[in-house]
């Protein structure tokens, strides 16, 4: 008969190892929120460099643009609506006269081959502004790309309720556009190294019900982040790629009450920029979102999916009630 006692010690050592591993992982993740950001020192030491933010006319994208200007970057705002872009450009320019703000118009839902012109358009924008703002100093260059554009325009929708066009638009806005614009600007970022690509992801990347298409695109974005980061490293290119995981944020696209767990867009954007240099490939932007995210690592999935389904069903009922009353 087997002596059960012989398993006791190895099991205890394994338990200790597991505990140590979990403690190390938690401590490592917590230190992400204590490390100083390397954003300005590494990517804008001369205060002449440029960042491009996609989906910059509202929400988190506008928050990123405000924060980047405040931190001394010249900023190219990307959006689909030329008038709204110009309004936002003037607003930022008035608030931050020491930097330059310019615009790039493209519809992220409808990517066509003119995306290839973005490389030369960005070079032209920078060249034009360099002539006026920095005649004797260091010429500015594009060093930061923030792939922020995205979102779900039909939250809490069953897959079968989507039309062909809805599916294509959601995938394009959240995934295709990020890949295409990064492809087109990768050479410029390599030339201007060190460079940074920040991809905005979501808690939905864990795979949530009732937002299956949006969830899938965010999983796609996370894989893109990891692959591209590894590819630049393997090629010896100094372009850092970071995936920024985000939970609920009060924005134009997600108009809820803000609180400690649901920050305002600019607070989230600032937190995201503060994570630059932490060394992680995918990182939570905001401390209180990280705490929520820990449940996905440590609680059973079936339990989380019950909670998620309840929340998304409540959003659905709310939308149906609003639609009936209007
Ligand atoms: N808010 C949240 O709770 C939350 C949570 C997790 C992750 N995220 C992620 O954070 C990012 C930003 O979300 P948000 O809530 O800040 O969004 P938002 O408030 O809806 O703003 C989206 C921005 O993208 C622009 N945009 C939308 N569709 C576009 C298109 N087809 N072409 C060009 N520009 C377009 C919008 O421009 P217009 O003004 O023209 O519409 C706006 O500037 C997204 O990637 C989203 O998935 C958000």
- Whether residue 303 is contained in a domain is answered as no
Judge contact between 213 and 170, C-beta under 8 A.
yes
pLDDT band, residue 132 (cuts 50/70/90): low
Tokens of 152: 């779900």
Position 4 scores a pLDDT of 62
- Whether residue 313 is contained in a domain is answered as no
- Relative to the CA of 252, which ligand 1 atom is closest? 19
- Relative to the CA of 262, which ligand 1 atom is closest? 3
Q: What percent of the chain has pLDDT over 70?
A: 96
Which value, to the nearest 10 degrees, does the dihedral of the CA atoms of residues 245, 307, 250, 68 take? Answer: -10
Residue 156 backbone class (left: φ over 0; alpha: ψ -120 to 50; beta: rest): left
If DSSP codes are grouped into helix, strand and coil, which group holds residue 81? coil
Beta-carbon contacts of residue 295 (< 8 Å; ≥ 6 apart): 304
pLDDT digits (tens, 9 = 90+) for 155-170: 788 999 999 999 999 9
Section 241-247 average pLDDT: 97
Q: How many A from CA of 61 to the centre of ligand 1? A: 7
Q: What angle is formed at CA 80 by the lines to CA 105 and CA 318, rounded to 5 degrees?
A: 160
The tally of domains found in the chain comes to 1
- Whether residue 86 is contained in a domain is answered as yes
Position 40 scores a pLDDT of 97
- Whether residue 322 is contained in a domain is answered as no
pLDDT band, residue 320 (cuts 50/70/90): confident
Position 245 scores a pLDDT of 97
- Relative to the CA of 80, which ligand 1 atom is closest? 33
Position 81 scores a pLDDT of 98
Pocket test residue of 166, 248, 253 for ligand 1, highest count of atoms within 8 A of CB:
253
Ligand 1 pocket (Cβ < 6 Å) reads 55-61, 79-81, 84, 107-109, 148-151, 173, 200, 202, 246, 248-249, 251-254, 265
Q: DSSP of 118-133, one letter per residue?
A: HHHHHHHHHHHHHHHH
Q: How many A from CA of 151 to the centre of ligand 1? A: 5
Top pLDDT among 131 and 185 is at 185
Tokens of 97: 């006269």
- Whether residue 45 is contained in a domain is answered as yes
Position 243 scores a pLDDT of 98
pLDDT digits (tens, 9 = 90+) for 261-289: 999 999 999 999 999 999 999 999 999 99
Top pLDDT among 97 and 314 is at 97
Q: How many A from CA of 15 to the centre of ligand 1? A: 44
172 to each of 53, 165, 179, 207, 262, how far by Cα in Å? 17, 10, 10, 18, 26
Position 213 scores a pLDDT of 96
- Whether residue 307 is contained in a domain is answered as no
Where residue 199 sits, what CATH number does that domain have?
3.40.50.720
CA atoms of 141 and 270, how far apart (whole Å)? 22
Q: How many A from CA of 195 to the centre of ligand 1? A: 23
Position 135 scores a pLDDT of 52
pLDDT band, residue 256 (cuts 50/70/90): confident
pLDDT digits (tens, 9 = 90+) for 206-223: 999 999 999 999 999 999
Beta-carbon contacts of residue 308 (< 8 Å; ≥ 6 apart): 208, 209
Position 325 scores a pLDDT of 83
Judge contact between 308 and 209, C-beta under 8 A.
yes
Position 326 scores a pLDDT of 75
Judge contact between 199 and 229, C-beta under 8 A.
no
- Whether residue 304 is contained in a domain is answered as no
- Whether residue 16 is contained in a domain is answered as no
Structural domain of 173: 35-298
């Amino acid at each position: 008969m087997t002596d059960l006692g012989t398993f006791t010690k190895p099991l205890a050592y394994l338990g200790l190892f597991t505990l140590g591993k979990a403690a190390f992982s938690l401590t490592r993740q917590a230190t992400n929120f204590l490390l100083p950001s390397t954003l300005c020192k590494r990517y804008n030491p001369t205060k002449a460099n440029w960042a491009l933010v996609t989906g910059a006319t509202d929400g988190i994208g506008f928050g990123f643009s405000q924060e980047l200007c405040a931190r001394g970057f010249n900023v190219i705002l990307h959006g689909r609506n030329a008038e709204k872009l110009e309004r936002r450009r003037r607003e930022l320019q008035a608030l931050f006269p020491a930097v330059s703000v310019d615009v790039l118009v493209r519809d992220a839902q409808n990517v066509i081959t003119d995306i290839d012109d973005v490389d030369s358009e960005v070079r032209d924008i920078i060249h034009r502004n360099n002539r006026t703002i920095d005649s004797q100093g260091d010429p500015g260059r594009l060093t930061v790309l923030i792939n922020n554009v995205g979102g779900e325009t039909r939250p809490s929708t069953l897959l079968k309720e989507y039309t062909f066009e809805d599916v294509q638009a959601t995938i394009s806005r959240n995934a295709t556009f990020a890949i295409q614009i990064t492809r087109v600007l990768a050479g410029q970022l390599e030339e201007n190294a060190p460079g940074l690509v920040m991809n905005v992801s979501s808690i939905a990347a864990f795979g949530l019900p009732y937002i299956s298409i949006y969830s899938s695109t965010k999983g796609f974005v996370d894989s893109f982040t990891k692959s591209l980061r590894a590819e630049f490293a393997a090629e010896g290119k100094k372009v850092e790629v970071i995936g920024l995981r985000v939970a609920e944020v009060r924005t134009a696209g997600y108009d809820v009450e803000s609180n400690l767990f649901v920050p305002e867009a600019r607070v989230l954007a600032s937190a995201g920029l503060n994570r630059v240099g932490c060394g992680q490939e995918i990182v939570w932007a905001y401390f209180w979102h990280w705490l929520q995210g820990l449940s996905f690592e440590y609680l059973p999935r079936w339990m989380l999916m019950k909670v998620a389904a309840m929340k998304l069903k409540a959003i659905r009922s709310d939308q149906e009630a609003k639609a009936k009353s209007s």
